[in-house]
Amino acid sequence: MGLNETFLAVVASNCDFLCSRFGAVRESASEMWLARVWFRAADFEVELSYGDRELYVGTIVRRRLKGHSEVSSYALWEWLDAFDIPDGHVDASGVNTQAGLNLAVSRAAHLLGLHLSTILAAGPHVILRIEAAREARSQAEREANAKSEHSSAAAHAAEAFRAGDFNKVIGLLEPFASRLSPSEKKKLQIARRRVGGP
């Protein structure tokens, strides 16, 4: 039995309580690199997925707030973070054994059993909290990427400066003008003078 088939069996044995306790209907699909199981009810859907290319087990909970037409779809760990529930990071990567699948799915099933009712009862303030956390993570990632790009550009600019390629120094440092260290600003200033610029 391959890992996709194992995943489907493990989800069925660990998560069928979603059918008995919450009235969900289980559906599943397996493709070459991806296996997914959905537990669908009138007001929510839980999706567990396993991609054996990425070796990643994920859990998503989708639900519609009362009186709203849009569906809120977030990873289980995002819902749990919004409720300040510790150890809610259930998604797992690098899962390449049956034991790993059993552990990842049983952990997700345990947390769903404990907290799905809370998720289904959540109001709009929880959605706002999840969205704010997503934006904060996105902003932190953008900042980290900008720092990394600046660092790389600065290193290449230092090499170009030593080699006397002042046009390259300008091209590398100008996009980061607001981030430059004093020594990088000085290199940019010297490079501009050397090529006859301001």
Query: What string of pLDDT tens digits covers the 198 residues of the chain?
Result: 688 899 999 999 999 999 999 999 999 998 888 999 999 998 899 999 998 678 899 999 999 877 667 788 999 999 999 999 877 677 788 888 899 999 999 999 999 999 999 999 988 899 899 999 999 989 999 999 989 999 999 999 999 999 999 999 899 999 998 989 999 999 989 999 988 866
Integer Cα distance of 97 and 111 in angstroms: 21
Contact in structure between 80 and 61 (CB atoms under 8 Å): no
Tokens of 169: 């120094």
pTM for this entry: 0.75
Ordered by start, the domain boundaries in the chain are: 3-122, 143-194
- Measured in residues, the chain has a length of 198
Contact in structure between 130 and 74 (CB atoms under 8 Å): yes
Contact in structure between 130 and 149 (CB atoms under 8 Å): no
User: Can you give the pLDDT at residue 157?
Assistant: 92
User: Can you give the pLDDT at residue 131?
Assistant: 92
Kindly tell me the sign of the dihedral angle through the C-alpha atoms of 87, 93, 96, 98.
positive
Kindly tell me the sign of the dihedral angle through the C-alpha atoms of 15, 20, 21, 22.
positive
User: Can you give the pLDDT at residue 20?
Assistant: 94
Tokens 């809120």 correspond to what residue? Answer: 72
User: Can you give the pLDDT at residue 79?
Assistant: 93
Integer Cα distance of 196 and 198 in angstroms: 7
* Other Cβ atoms closer than 10 A to 69: 6
